Amino acid sequence: VLVVLTIVVLLPILKGIYVSFCTYKLANLNNPIWNNFGNYVKLFKQGEIFTYFLNTFVFVGLTVAASFIIGLCIALLLNTKIVGRGVIRGLFLIPWTIPSVVTAIVWHWMLQQQYGVLNYIFYKLGLSSTINISWTQSSLLAMVSIIMASVWQQLPYMMVMILAALQTVDASLVEAAKIDGANPLKALTKIILPSIRTVLGTAIWISLLQNFQNFTIIWNMTGGGPVISTTTLSIAVNRKAFQEFDFGLGSAIGVLWIIVLFIATLLHNRISDRQVQDIQ
């Protein structure tokens, strides 16, 4: 197992770190030229790396937050005795089964400027003064569009995780709180959520990692545009390495990406350890 992990995981990471310090293009694929920190200096001098990180943090933060809030609301609803609960649960799982590229194409069609169904709905509801909303030509709306598509696809995952956790909460504690005069909001914040915080932390963390790597939806809906307004780290690496064929610069972005995720992982592990100690 260690040999396989070394070949499949460790060696590519080490190769990526090495070529991030090299001039590594099509002209010298077999002979990377060491340039010290040339790629990193170029990234920070151009300044676009800060935009890449900002776009990534905005996209990941809003996508995960929206998925969590909506997923929690749906899970709380499905945790009650409502008619057709099994059917509703099955319907909400459908987006999770659809490939990312199909999700991107469907949402791209729905948001199309001339015949997109969402433009028509917004216009009829009075939410827009025009029926021709150009989603992919506006920096703000382009970001909103990829967030909506990502939330739609990832919502079932968050819902299932939270619903499974809710079913482990001791119902007697909630009933006791209600008898003592706690309203539903207090019962949720003081009893239910603390009881499932370990599962919530895991679900949110996995969702964060998945969205940091999200490429397909963004690439197929906006291509990182307009200009670089929706260019996240995954899109930036693809552009530098496979469109501009500057593999060294693309690797440098990837290394910075790894460093950020490594620091975030350390913080997450420390917080998780403290939570386990508090429970014990």
Q: Nearest 5°: CA angle at 175, between 172 and 181?
A: 145
- 3-class secondary structure, 25: strand
pTM score: 0.92
Which pLDDT value is given to residue 271? 82
Q: How confident is the model at residue 258 (pLDDT cuts 50, 70, 90)?
A: very high
Which pLDDT value is given to residue 45? 93
Cβ burial, residue 22 (10 Å; 0-12/13-18/19+): buried
Q: How far is CA 102 from CA 94, 193, 220, in A?
A: 13, 34, 9
Structure tokens at 179: 């008898």
**Between 78 and 271, the higher pLDDT residue:** 78
pLDDT value at 251 more than 90:
yes
- 3-class secondary structure, 126: coil
How confident is the model over 13-19, as a mean pLDDT? 93
Is residue 119 within 8 Å of residue 110, measured between CB atoms? no
pLDDT value at 101 more than 80:
yes
Closest CA to 235 of 154, 106, 142, 155: 142
- Phi/psi of residue 25, nearest 5 degrees: -130, -175
* Four-point Cα dihedral 62, 72, 84, 122, nearest 10: -30
pLDDT digits (tens, 9 = 90+) for 56-89: 999 999 999 999 999 999 999 998 888 888 888 8
Which pLDDT value is given to residue 280? 60
Contacts for 109-115 with beta carbons within 8 Å, 24 or more apart?
Answer: 111/135, 111/136, 111/145, 111/221, 113/137
Which pLDDT value is given to residue 221? 95
pLDDT digits (tens, 9 = 90+) for 176-234: 888 888 888 888 888 899 889 889 999 999 999 999 999 999 999 999 999 999 999 99
How confident is the model over 136-144, as a mean pLDDT? 92
- Non-local CB neighbours of 98 within 8 Å, separated by 6+ positions: 106, 153
Percent of the chain with pLDDT over 70: 98
